[in-house]
Structure 1
Amino acid sequence: MKIAVYGQKITEQNIPYLNKFIKYALNQSIEVYIEKCFLQTLSSFREFKEMKYPIFSHYEELKKNFSLMFTFGGDGTILSAINFIRDSGIPIVGVNTGNLGFLATFNKDVFIHKIDQIFNKKLYLMPRSLLCLESSIIKFHKTFNFALNEIVILRKETVSMITIDVYIDNDFLTSYWADGLIISTPTGSTGYSLSCGGPIISPDNKNFVLTPISPHNLFSRPLVISDHQTVHLKIHSRTMYYSLSMDTRLTSLKKENELYIKKAPFYVYIFQEGKNTYFKTLREKLLWGIDQRN
């Protein structure tokens, strides 16, 4: 069995958990590959200074019989890891050493006790849908034009609003006068969309959410649509460019670029402890049912 290990930064108090996990895997004759930049970060700690591990640094290297990817960090770490996973179908085990943990649902203490079940794939595997992006002018690479959380259009180099004309399956919906627009998956509904007033949607739903960012029209509200539909966007701005983000990736496009957003033709698979872990996570992270008056 081959596994991949990925992280972005790690604190000293989390090193013993990672070290124990890797030693356990090696004792089980499991090949452990560590992402190149993460291994450089780990090499500053005594436990990893003298150790040699095989590395990976490109998504094509993960298509060679890898069984699992383990991420150590928060949800942002998983979003970055998607750049390596892409459409390979390799399941992700997110160990939460960060803050929120809507995606990285394994507490580091619980994770250590669940290692055998994880390696034997006896826990619940949740498929997560993604967004796919195409442009009328720019040709994106077919394996790099996707987002697990959301695609966001934002004004750039101006304090003025931008206007975004929205078409659903070629039918005109409306024009948003706003700072921007978020197109979110159910997975991303607890992210940027939520902070802008969007609804929470459980990840097994087949929907997208359109959430305007600071709209000028008070009657502009988030809209839930089927993920079988295509969203077509035309952007009007006083400046030449607008900003486009896809999860952790940010770029600028000329306003002549019209965007077409639809469901990606593949899923990302994330391990969690049980089928209803999502609702447990919502209660814990959003403090539902907890009296905050005192």
Structure 2
Amino acid sequence: MKITIHGISFHKEFVPFIEQLINALHDHNAELYLTESFSKTMQKSGAEATGFTVFKDRKVLADMDFVISVGGDGTLLDTVSMVGEYEVPILGINTGRLGFLATIAKEDVEKAIQVLFDGHFTIQDRILIHLDADQPLFNGVPYGLNEFTIHKRDTSSMITVHTYIDGEYLNSYWADGLIVATPTGSTGYSLSCGGPLISPAAKNFVITPVSPHNLNVRPMIVSDESEITFAIEGRSKKFLISLDSRSTAVDASVKLTVRREKFVARLVKFHDYSFFDTLRKKLNWGFDMRN
């Protein structure tokens, strides 16, 4: 079995768990590959490991059976952008904090690898959001797992985002920005701006304004078959747009449209995983300080 490990950074306190992960994979005779960024992080941390190949060309992913993301949810988002159209199943090991996406605790590394090789898991397909623009953006990676965002820049003044669904005018949002989130992204930035929680299997996008000027403007759920187009106005000549954690500045002349990506992100979920259980735990539902 061919497996790639990807990560961006981790603290030295996590070194024993990283070494444990690599040893567990060797014990199962996995053919092991590391991304360049993860290899450099291991070297800096002093982690001791051998028996792997470091690669720079992501075309290697075409032959992979799994990719293991080591880090928090941000690292898993980066892993999704790296895997892209290859649709290799991704397993997230959480060395971060919240862990909505990277659900395997670092203490359960050996157990998780055993479960993976025993085949006691399912693959969840998560839709991605794709950005079409009339100029190259995001270094040829115009998709994200969580959300696309338009946000004001370099000024305290709000912006106006004229929004159209399948060519039909929806609204002009006077706000600090606008989010279009996938069901996966509904637990992220959109949630913090008052957006609804959406089950991962739902076929929807949610449009959520960021600090809207009109208090009667509310988040809106639309079909993921929709194409959502934007025209931006504001006192500033530049605006920020982002796909997950990647952002860039654009001017108001850029034509922006988002739609569902043609391929998906495939996440490994073990049989004891429950999205609703994760919600209750991470959001402290039912938790009462008086108890």
Q: Rate the CA distance shift 1:249–1:138 in 2: closer, same or farther, 3 A.
A: same
Give 1:214 deviation, angstroms.
0.5
Structure 1 range deviating more: 242-251 or 27-36:
27-36
Which consecutive aligned stretches of 4+ in structure 1 deviate over 6 angstroms post-superposition?
A: none
- Identity across aligned pairs (percent)? 37
Q: Where do 1:83-162 residues align within 5 Å? A: 83-135=81-133, 137-140=134-137, 144-162=141-159
Deviations 1:108-156 (A, max 9, x none): 2233213122134321211100001111x31458951101000000011
What is the alpha-carbon distance in structure 2 between the residues aligned to residue 46 and residue 176 of structure 1?
Answer: 50
- Give the conservation status (yes or no) of the 8 Å contact 1:235–1:258: no
- Give the conservation status (yes or no) of the 8 Å contact 2:20–2:109: no
- Give the conservation status (yes or no) of the 8 Å contact 1:87–1:143: no
Deviations 1:4-58 (A, max 9, x none): 101111223322222122112223321111111221121134442x746311234
Residue 115 of structure 1: SS of its match in structure 2? helix
Q: Which amino acid aligns with 1:86?
A: G
What is the alpha-carbon distance in structure 1 between the residues aligned to residue 36 and residue 72 of structure 2?
Answer: 19
Q: Which residue of 213, 217, 222 corresponds with 1:225? A: 222
Q: Which amino acid aligns with 2:222?
A: I
Q: Rate the CA distance shift 1:288–1:179 in 2: closer, same or farther, 3 A.
A: same
Q: Rate the CA distance shift 1:46–1:241 in 2: closer, same or farther, 3 A.
A: closer
- Give the conservation status (yes or no) of the 8 Å contact 1:169–1:231: yes
What is the alpha-carbon distance in structure 1 between the residues aligned to residue 10 and residue 273 of structure 2?
Answer: 29
Q: Which amino acid aligns with 2:116?
A: I
- Give the conservation status (yes or no) of the 8 Å contact 2:227–2:259: yes
Match of 2:26 in 1: 26
What is the alpha-carbon distance in structure 2 between the residues aligned to residue 162 and residue 133 of structure 1?
Answer: 20
What is the alpha-carbon distance in structure 1 between the residues aligned to residue 117 and residue 273 of structure 2?
Answer: 21
Match of 2:59 in 1: 60
Q: Where do 1:1-294 residues align within 5 Å? A: 1-48=1-48, 51=50, 53-63=52-62, 65-135=63-133, 137-140=134-137, 144-274=141-271, 277-293=274-290
What is the alpha-carbon distance in structure 2 between the residues aligned to residue 253 and residue 45 of structure 1?
Answer: 37
The count of corresponding residues between Structure 1 and Structure 2 is 291
What is the alpha-carbon distance in structure 2 between the residues aligned to residue 77 and residue 139 of structure 1?
Answer: 24
- Give the conservation status (yes or no) of the 8 Å contact 2:182–2:206: yes
Give 1:263 deviation, angstroms.
0.5
Q: Rate the CA distance shift 1:46–1:216 in 2: closer, same or farther, 3 A.
A: closer
In structure 2, the gaps of 5 or more residues are none
Residue 55 of structure 1: SS of its match in structure 2? strand
Q: Which amino acid aligns with 2:188?
A: G
What is the alpha-carbon distance in structure 2 between the residues aligned to residue 10 and residue 215 of structure 1?
Answer: 37
Structure 1 range deviating more: 167-176 or 275-284:
275-284
What is the alpha-carbon distance in structure 2 between the residues aligned to residue 27 and residue 111 of structure 1?
Answer: 13
Give 1:255 deviation, angstroms.
0.5
Q: Rate the CA distance shift 1:89–1:270 in 2: closer, same or farther, 3 A.
A: same
- Give the conservation status (yes or no) of the 8 Å contact 1:196–1:213: yes
Residue 40 of structure 2: SS of its match in structure 1? helix
- Give the conservation status (yes or no) of the 8 Å contact 1:106–1:273: no
TM-score, normalised with respect to structure 2: 0.95
What is the alpha-carbon distance in structure 2 between the residues aligned to residue 42 and residue 9 of structure 1?
Answer: 8
Q: Which amino acid aligns with 2:97?
A: N
What is the alpha-carbon distance in structure 1 between the residues aligned to residue 157 and residue 13 of structure 2?
Answer: 45
What is the alpha-carbon distance in structure 2 between the residues aligned to residue 292 and residue 186 of structure 1?
Answer: 30
Give 1:282 deviation, angstroms.
0.4
